[in-house]
Structure 1
Amino acid sequence: DLIILRNALDLLLPKLARVISRLADFAKERASLPTLGFTHFQPAQLTTVGKRCCLWIQDLCMDLQNLKRVRDDLRFRGVKGTTGTQASFLQLFEGDDHKVEQLDKMVTDKAGFKRAFIITGQTYTRKVDIEVLSVLASLGASVHKICTDIRLLANLKEMEEPFEKQQIGSSAMPYKRNPMRSERCCSLARHLMTLVMDPLQTASVQWFERTLDDSANRRICLAEAFLTADTILNTLQNISEGLVVYPKVIERRIRQELPFMATENIIMAMVKAGGSRQVQRFLEEEVYPLLKPYESVMKVKAELCL
């Protein structure tokens, strides 16, 4: 299971990096495009389209760092025996604990892990499953926020996700341009966030060295969490590669609200300068260094499951 968890994390990391890269391109291109900011979903001061996108990127960068951390922190169970005491191996090697430790290290190295647990029961601690699914749940929260913003902006007609040539907005109302990819991401993200409850419950009810009631549900929730996260990232990459912005609609909304905020020329100049500066600094200092290890996979297109 630990090998599968590690390999599954290795599959997700470059996919998340690609999503961040696509959004970074989007943010850079629109760093100076003013747009109305919202707090409480009420008109507030101006921001820029690129600066708002950096809010999304920042959350995903935290998720990328957490996925990498939990992957690198994974430890192998190693050769510990039925209750974790290594008693049978000590007997095999006639009490030579050095040989037992050497075997433990050889098996750990063979499995591709740098470290093994010193203490285990019959299994590795189920706290590991909590840590892994907590990071995936956090990714789900980030994606849900991003796609909810896109859905709201689609309603305002300021932004929309890609719309394919053969795509139909609604079977009954074909003129509609429903943000169905973002809706799908939100739906799957909510499911992903709920899955962390499974390992929490499992770890809390393990008796002594191990009970088997941890097994059947883990076969479902661990695989399901990674499959869900994988589909979410594929879909979000597709969205990120084709986001459409409507500057005229944005400008019209700004002009409606400007009398309530400040003098037009002053505030527009401030936002253009400030938004562009913040976006550029954020991308150069925090985003691009984080993406450097994934440069070789950046050109891979999204695998969208319709």
Structure 2
Amino acid sequence: MFQKLGLDISDEQIQQLQNNIENIDFQKAAEEEKKTRHDVMAHIHVFAEQCPLAAPIIHLGATSCDIVDNADLIILKNGFEILLPKIVQCIKLISQFAENTKDQPTLGFTHLQPAQLTTVGKRACLWLQELLISEEAIVDAKKKLKFRGIKGTTGTQASFLRLFNGDYEKVKQLDKLVTQEANFQESYPITGQTYPRLVDVTVVSALAIFGAALHKMCTDLRLLASLNEISEPIEETQIGSSAMAYKQNPMRSERCCSISRYLMNLVNNPLNTAAVQWFERTLDDSANRRLTLSEAFLAADSVVRIVQNIFQGIRIYPEVINRHIQEEMPFMATENIIIAVVKHGGDRQVCHEKIRTMSAEVKTEIKENGYENRLIEKIKTDPYFKNILHELPSILDATTFVGCASLQVTEYIENYVQPVLKKYSNISDGSFVTLNL
């Protein structure tokens, strides 16, 4: 770039640099860093020994962040590009699960108490929607990444202005050419020594949003596993406990929650780092960023692989699900029973009071004596309800309590999930892995 803009750099110097670009002596660079206590200068010294002809121009006019910060931004962008197809493979697997289970009624819960029925597939669409929000957040963070560009020590480009003898247009052109060469559309127009550290907040926040989505989903899976309604893949030789031989723990979902929680908490690091950048820059960002940024991507990659594995072998147990429905169905059906009585000439308030009294008695029996739910039996033996007894089978049909759930699943997958999957249709299934986790 410098040569193109008129600086006195020979083809031989450039060729020597290109010939040694992959010839990195890491051991020697490490030894040099012990002496210099500076990572970039250590590599520059070693590189200069390998390229003696080009040594005088290596790092000319630049500061470390012209190298390291730009490299970090390339790494962040590449990290998103590696992660996104894996997220979309999870979306694909969960959407298939939702489609396959869209008609299976199941207890809905609010406050962790039984509520109106939903379907297994509809609940899976709650997970899908949060994954789509996560995908959108990550795509948005990736799109907003800019290059630091060539800005110099405090962002003023003073050294480059001197190199180009005061020609500001050439300084701007250098910044533009380097940015384009790195496959970025633009650079941050204003920087100190570093690119704005709030950029790291947007990066880790997007990954933390993804972590929160998976944590919520895997918490649901853990709760459903405790109800025996659903299970992760279970190996024939899998041991759940060293003491309790019968245990089949949802260890994959537990691991996902554990790592996701770690990922979610990482966002405090870039927030604090951005907040304490004094003036043009202070170096207490460096070590923290090297840990936080890398670990955020590694954590996100770990949980996405675990979720892939779960949904490659997830199972539901309709008989258990239906049993739980039937335990609560008498209470859920009371409003429909009242409506049926009124249609046969009954008084809504009288019917309501009868059912309220019966329900209170039944709940006492369940809680204090461990009885099964006998509300329907009480209704059948009460002459007041004789006109609607023939309707009870249809009133108690679980499929009539799920509303539009099945249709919502079909429409959601078609209108929202499929367009996201199509965006990545040209990506190889290399991100779709079979794992033993």
Q: Relative to 1, partners in 2 of residues 1:299 and 1:278: Cα closer, same or farther, differing over 3 Å?
A: farther
Q: Select which of 126, 132, 136 maps to 1:55.
A: 126
Map 1:131-150 → 2, pairs under 5 A: 131-150=202-221
- Which residue is equivalent to 1:151? 222
- Give the conservation status (yes or no) of the 8 Å contact 1:235–1:303: no
The separation in 2 between residues aligned to 1:119 and 1:305, in whole angstroms, is 47
Measured after TM superposition, the shift of residue 115 of structure 1 is: 1.1
- Which residue is equivalent to 2:316? 245
The separation in 2 between residues aligned to 1:208 and 1:178, in whole angstroms, is 52
SS of 2:424's partner is: helix
The separation in 2 between residues aligned to 1:71 and 1:303, in whole angstroms, is 27
Map 1:92-107 → 2, pairs under 5 A: 92-107=163-178
- Give the conservation status (yes or no) of the 8 Å contact 2:86–2:432: no
What TM-score do the two structures reach when normalised by structure 2?
0.68
- Give the conservation status (yes or no) of the 8 Å contact 2:108–2:114: yes
Q: Select which of 271, 281, 290 maps to 1:219.
A: 290
Worse-superposed segment, 33-42 or 293-302: 293-302
Unpaired runs of 5+ residues, structure 2, are: 1-71, 337-392
Q: More relative contact order in 1 or in 2 (CA 8 Å, sep 6+)?
A: 1
Q: Relative to 1, partners in 2 of residues 1:301 and 1:170: Cα closer, same or farther, differing over 3 Å?
A: farther
Measured after TM superposition, the shift of residue 272 of structure 1 is: 5.3
Q: Select which of 70, 83, 88 maps to 1:17.
A: 88
SS of 1:173's partner is: coil
- Which residue is equivalent to 1:274? 404
- The letter for the 2-side match of 1:104 is D
**Is the counterpart of residue 209 in structure 1 residue 339 in structure 2?**
no
The separation in 1 between residues aligned to 2:428 and 2:135, in whole angstroms, is 15
- The letter for the 2-side match of 1:44 is A
- Which residue is equivalent to 1:290? 420
SS of 2:108's partner is: strand
The separation in 1 between residues aligned to 2:108 and 2:404, in whole angstroms, is 14
- The letter for the 1-side match of 2:433 is A
- Which residue is equivalent to 2:265? 194
- Give the conservation status (yes or no) of the 8 Å contact 1:32–1:273: no
Measured after TM superposition, the shift of residue 304 of structure 1 is: 3.7
* RMSD value, Cα: 1.4
Q: Relative to 1, partners in 2 of residues 1:297 and 1:175: Cα closer, same or farther, differing over 3 Å?
A: farther
SS of 2:148's partner is: coil
Worse-superposed segment, 20-29 or 89-98: 89-98
The separation in 2 between residues aligned to 1:154 and 1:297, in whole angstroms, is 33
- The letter for the 2-side match of 1:207 is W
The separation in 2 between residues aligned to 1:163 and 1:302, in whole angstroms, is 18
Q: Select which of 157, 160, 177 maps to 1:89.
A: 160
Worse-superposed segment, 72-81 or 263-272: 263-272
What TM-score do the two structures reach when normalised by structure 1?
0.96
Measured after TM superposition, the shift of residue 7 of structure 1 is: 0.7
Identity %: 56
The separation in 2 between residues aligned to 1:273 and 1:241, in whole angstroms, is 29
- Which residue is equivalent to 1:44? 115
- Which residue is equivalent to 2:394? 265
SS of 1:95's partner is: coil
- Which residue is equivalent to 1:108? 179
SS of 2:171's partner is: helix
1:57-79, Cα deviation, whole Å (9 max, x unpaired): 00000000111111111000001
Q: Relative to 1, partners in 2 of residues 1:109 and 1:190: Cα closer, same or farther, differing over 3 Å?
A: same
The separation in 2 between residues aligned to 1:277 and 1:303, in whole angstroms, is 31
- Which residue is equivalent to 1:302? 433
SS of 2:404's partner is: helix
Q: Relative to 1, partners in 2 of residues 1:205 and 1:300: Cα closer, same or farther, differing over 3 Å?
A: closer
Measured after TM superposition, the shift of residue 300 of structure 1 is: 4.5
Measured after TM superposition, the shift of residue 305 of structure 1 is: 6.6
- Give the conservation status (yes or no) of the 8 Å contact 2:205–2:267: yes
SS of 1:148's partner is: helix
1:40-71, Cα deviation, whole Å (9 max, x unpaired): 11010000000000000000000001111111
- Which residue is equivalent to 1:166? 237
- The letter for the 2-side match of 1:282 is Y
- The letter for the 2-side match of 1:291 is L
Unpaired runs of 5+ residues, structure 1, are: none
Measured after TM superposition, the shift of residue 265 of structure 1 is: 2.9
